Structure formats: structure tokens, C-alpha cells
């Protein structure tokens, strides 16, 4: 099979990535200064896909305004999932568009073209074909049990000792998937594509797995974006040279020290004596003032870092202002998300959209600050700060 039309599921919020997804969907979060969704489109196009339908919902205007009607000369057709009731429900919104096999990928997972090509090449007359990987962290994602090339069980976040392969989230599907979505029992009011595939397996339909390899990256929690940056850089997807990674419109003072790899976006400015990197990304219109240190960090667009600040393992949203002499010493740290604590994660601090940080403030490892919060000059923050909160 030469190619397949593709459906990209990009309607969800990505709740586990809050507070970064408070005002935009997960597919639009930056990975080395480019939306995650752009990498998804790149992989599809490089695999030869020329028909792309994008299912949008939460924050859909952010997706449609950014990409418009085409991407790299390939038309994008948008279909709206009005209520976010699961990945299977999202797929039902395009049911009338497909009566032949088609490809489905998630809009929030980065994978290279080779994985997509392998699934396209093995999609046939069966009900479904899944791309699967040998991966050492299956327990955090979706596991697949296979006998030969036949899928016999799908388990989300498996905890037992059986031999699982990772579900890469690339599917070659036939029209019977829509029947399966309707017949699978919803969980918590949501219709899951995985449950529909399990229904096909239980119905003894032909569900096959294609063992493949290549880059596969997913950001489940906010601090994972730091690892995504590393993976993309090391895979050569973010420019092979320093010149390619620094936008022509960026201004970098001649006395600044750049420790590669570093990505610097359009209209960014780096002041005198600043030390950047390694594994640091400055988004569009980011300013880092003199003698600051920014290491292993991801600073989104319109962020401003004051002089003599130190940021290690830091993630920011858009429009964050960080005052002079602020200190984020870096991870690992224990991160509290709701009632759950993630121990020893590589996160110095996270500042969501439009956070204002006063000078000489300091942050314990693992701190997360919600959007529109204010931390006053000289404060020490240890623990999560809710949105629109003021800390003195």
C-alpha cells in the first residue's frame, strides 16, 4: 500500500500537563520551539501522507489559527469534536469520511516517519494494524501482548511481568472500527479507541501488530518537556549546527557563552555575560538579560529573565516575567500534582502563562506556579502555587 489518508486526533486538553494546558491544548505546547503537532504533521508528510484530517476540540482556535488550511503544501481539513468524550468519540466525528482503510495518529506524540511508513506498509484487509515498539517504559503508557504478529491483548499502563510491547499510537484502521467504538463499553462516560480495539480483539477480528523502531516521544507531565527537548536534539530534528538552531533575527551578545545544544527563536535577545545551555530553548521574543544563567530549560515565547537570574531545569509558559537575581537551582525534586506526589523528578520549577516573579526570589526543586500568579520580591517558594495567587 503506497499511502493512506490520515486522521490526527488533537481535540483533547492534556490534563496531566496542567497548568501549561490551562489556555491551550497539549498538541500546541512547544517542543524545541515548535508545537508538538507540527512534528506530527512532519512525520506524516515525510511518510508520504497527502490527506490529513485534524480532529480539534479544546483550544481549537489555537490549532487552526496557527496552522491554517495547509501545512507544507498539504491541505488540512478540520473536524470539530464539540465535547471531549474520548479518543473513540473523536474518531466517530469523521466516520462519514472513510469507507476504506485509513491511518490514525495522536496529535500529542512525536514519532518519526519510519514508524508511520511501517504501519502504512502492513495495513491490509484486517480490522486494524498497530505500530508497536520494544520500549523499556511500557508501564507508563500502553502495552500490547502479541502472539506472532497477532494482537491478543491491550493493557493501559500495565503492572504485571508479562512481555509487553509499547503501543506507539499509530493505527491502520478499517471501517469496522466505528462499529467497535459503538459496541465497546464506555468508561467514565468516555469512548476510548483502545477499548474499541480491545473489543475487536475479543471479537476475534484480525488485529495485527507491526514491530517497528525509531524516535517515539511523549510528554505526559510538564517536566517531560525537558526530556522531549533532549530527545529531539539528539535525534537531529532541531538543526544539525549551532547556526541552524539560532534564528537569524535573534541577538546574542558577543560576550554570552553558548553551551550547545541551544535553540534560540525569532527576535530573542541574549544579554552580555549570559550563560546558556546545554539543552536550553528560548522561544520567540524571549529576553535573557545580562549575566543570567539558563541551563537545561525551556522558556516559551515572550518570557523575560532579569539580570543575574539562575534558572536550571526550568519550564515557562508564555509571557512570564522573572526578576533580577531569581534563583531556581534545579531538580530533582518532589512535584505535587493534586493529591499525588511525583518523587525526584527533573524539574527545578515551572512557571505557567503570565506569571510574575519578583527579584531575589527563590524556588525549591519541583515547584509549580499556576497562570497569572504573582510572587513578590524576595519570597521563597516551596510547593505548588495556584493560578492568580499572590505570594509575598
Query: Domain residues of the chain, as ranges?
Result: 6-218, 237-391
Query: What's the whole-number average pLDDT of the chain?
Result: 91
Q: How big is the chain, counted in residues?
A: 392
CATH of domain 6-218: 3.90.550.10
DSSP codes of every residue in 80-126 = E-SS---HHHHHHTTGGG-SS-EEEEETTEEE-HHHHHHHHHH--SS
- Return the CATH fold of 237-391: UDP N-Acetylglucosamine Acyltransferase; domain 1 (2.160.10)
| Grouped pLDDT means (10 residues each) for the chain, 392 residues | 87 87 90 91 93 92 94 94 88 88 92 92 87 82 88 87 89 92 86 90 89 87 88 79 87 95 95 95 96 96 97 96 96 83 91 96 95 95 91 88
Residue among 218, 213, 166, 170 at smallest CA distance from 31: 218
pLDDT in tens, 191-201: 889 999 999 98
Count of C-beta atoms within a 10 Å radius of residue 291: 19
Residue among 364, 355, 351 at smallest CA distance from 390: 355
Cα 339–344–349 angle (5° rounding)? 80
3-state secondary structure of 13: coil
Count of C-beta atoms within a 10 Å radius of residue 271: 19
Query: At 321, phi and psi to the nearest 5?
Result: -115, 120
Contact predicate 121/212, CB 8 Å: no
pLDDT in tens, 303-348: 999 999 999 999 999 999 999 999 999 988 888 877 788 889 899 9
Amino acid at each position: 500500500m503506497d499511502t493512506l489518508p490520515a486522521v490526527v486526533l488533537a481535540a483533547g486538553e492534556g490534563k496531566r500537563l496542567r497548568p501549561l494546558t490551562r489556555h491551550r491544548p497539549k498538541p500546541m505546547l512547544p517542543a524545541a520551539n515548535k508545537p508538538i503537532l507540527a512534528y506530527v504533521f512532519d512525520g506524516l508528510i515525510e511518510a508520504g501522507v497527502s490527506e490529513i484530517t485534524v480532529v480539534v476540540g479544546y483550544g481549537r482556535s489555537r490549532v487552526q489559527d496557527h496552522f491554517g488550511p495547509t501545512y507544507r503544501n498539504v491541505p488540512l481539513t478540520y473536524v470539530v469534536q464539540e465535547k471531549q468524550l474520548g479518543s473513540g468519540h473523536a474518531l466517530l466525528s469523521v466516520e462519514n469520511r472513510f469507507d476504506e482503510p485509513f491511518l490514525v495518529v495522536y496529535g500529542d506524540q512525536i514519532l518519526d516517519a519510519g514508524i508511520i511508513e511501517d504501519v502504512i506498509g502492513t495495513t491490509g484487509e484486517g480490522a486494524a494494524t498497530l505500530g508497536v515498539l520494544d520500549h523499556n517504559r511500557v508501564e507508563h503508557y500502553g502495552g500490547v501482548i502479541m502472539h506472532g504478529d497477532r494482537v491478543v491483548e491491550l493493557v493501559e499502563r500495565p503492572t504485571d511481568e508479562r512481555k509487553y510491547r509499547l503501543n506507539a499510537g499509530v493505527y491502520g484502521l478499517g471501517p469496522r472500527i466505528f462499529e467497535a467504538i459503538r459496541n465497546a463499553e464506555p468508561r467514565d462516560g468516555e469512548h476510548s479507541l483502545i477499548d474499541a480495539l480491545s473489543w475487536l480483539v475479543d471479537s476475534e477480528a484480525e488485529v495485527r501488530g507491526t514491530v517497528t523502531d525509531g524516535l517515539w516521544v511523549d510528554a505526559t507531565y510538564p517536566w517531560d518537556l525537558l526530556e522531549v527537548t533532549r530527545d529531539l536534539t539528539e535525534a537531529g530534528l532541531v538543526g544539525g549546527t549551532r547556526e541552524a538552531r539560532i534564528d537569524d533575527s535573534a541577538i546574542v551578545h558577543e560576550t554570552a557563552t553558548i553551551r550547545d545544544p541551544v535553540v534560540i527563536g525569532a527576535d530573542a535577545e541574549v544579554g552580555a555575560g549570559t550563560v546558556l545551555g546545554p539543552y536550553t530553548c528560548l522561544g520567540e521574543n524571549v529576553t535573557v538579560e545580562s549575566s543570567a544563567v539558563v541551563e537545561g530549560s525551556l522558556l516559551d515565547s515572550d518570557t523575560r529573565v532579569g539580570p543575574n537570574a539562575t534558572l536550571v531545569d526550568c519550564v515557562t509558559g508564555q509571557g512570564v516575567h522573572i526578576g533580577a537575581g531569581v534563583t531556581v537551582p534545579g531538580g530533582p525534586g518532589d512535584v505535587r500534582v493534586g493529591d499525588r506526589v511525583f518523587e525526584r523528578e527533573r524539574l527545578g520549577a515551572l512557571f505557567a502563562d503570565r506569571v510574575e516573579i519578583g527579584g531575589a526570589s527563590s524556588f525549591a526543586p519541583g515547584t509549580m506556579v499556576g497562570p497569572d500568579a504573582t510572587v513578590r520580591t524576595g519570597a521563597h517558594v516551596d510547593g505548588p502555587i495556584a493560578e492568580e495567587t499572590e505570594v509575598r
